[in-house]
Amino acid sequence: MEPFRDMAKFLRESRINKALTDRTNVYETHVRMFWKSVRYDESEKMMYSAVQKKDENDHDIDVEVKFNVGDLRRVLDLGDTDDDPTIVPERLCKGLWFRMGFTGHVNDKYLKSMFSRPYKFLIHCVLHALSHRKGSYDEPSDYIMNIITCLVLNRPYNISQVLFDHMVDNIRGEK
């Protein structure tokens, strides 16, 4: 159990702690309404959407919500900046993965099950907290492995921009 205690301590002290532990209630109807009405303005680099809320007379009203990557950064408190990179050299990632106990082939799929147990836990937590996937949680995508690499090596990485870009891809239908 000691390796898991160490990994849990690492996650509590990491810059993604808020994303992992925040208990904000988000209603599925709000999420569906957001994605149904969202649009992206390329010139302003801003997302616009509508959500419902109750007015002072307890009637449902639509409220426009707008945000950009800076708002996402502020709310998620990921400890990144606009100047941080969004790409990590593949060689750096692969080298770290082997130090994390990866047992697969270097050019194969990177499955969570091929890492040592504490790092499986780390990958699992990051996948569930920051991934846009609805399933297939055993195969982390490149951007998730970049996030994990930068967390483990304590390197700067613009997580907010990467998440925002994936949201924009969802709006454009590039899911």
Q: Is the dihedral of CA 25, 29, 31, 37 positive or negative?
A: negative
149 confidence band (pLDDT: 50, 70, 90): very high
Q: What is the pLDDT of residues 59-68, one digit of tens each?
A: 989 889 999 9
Nearest-5° angle of CA 150, CA 152, CA 153?
A: 65
Task: List CB contacts of 67: < 8 A, sequence separation 6 or more.
Answer: 46, 47
**pLDDT confidence of residue 174:** 64
Q: Which helix (H) or strand (E) holds 172?
A: none
pLDDT 10s digits, 19-42: 888 888 888 888 888 899 999 999
- Relative to beta strand 39-41, strand 60-67 is unpaired
pLDDT digits (tens, 9 = 90+) for 93-143: 889 988 998 888 777 777 888 888 899 999 988 988 888 766 666 778 888
Name, in order, each residue with C-beta under 8 angstroms of 82's C-beta and a sequence gap of 6 or more.
69, 70, 158, 161
Residue-level length of the chain: 175
Cα-Cα end-to-end distance for the chain: 38
Total-model pTM: 0.84
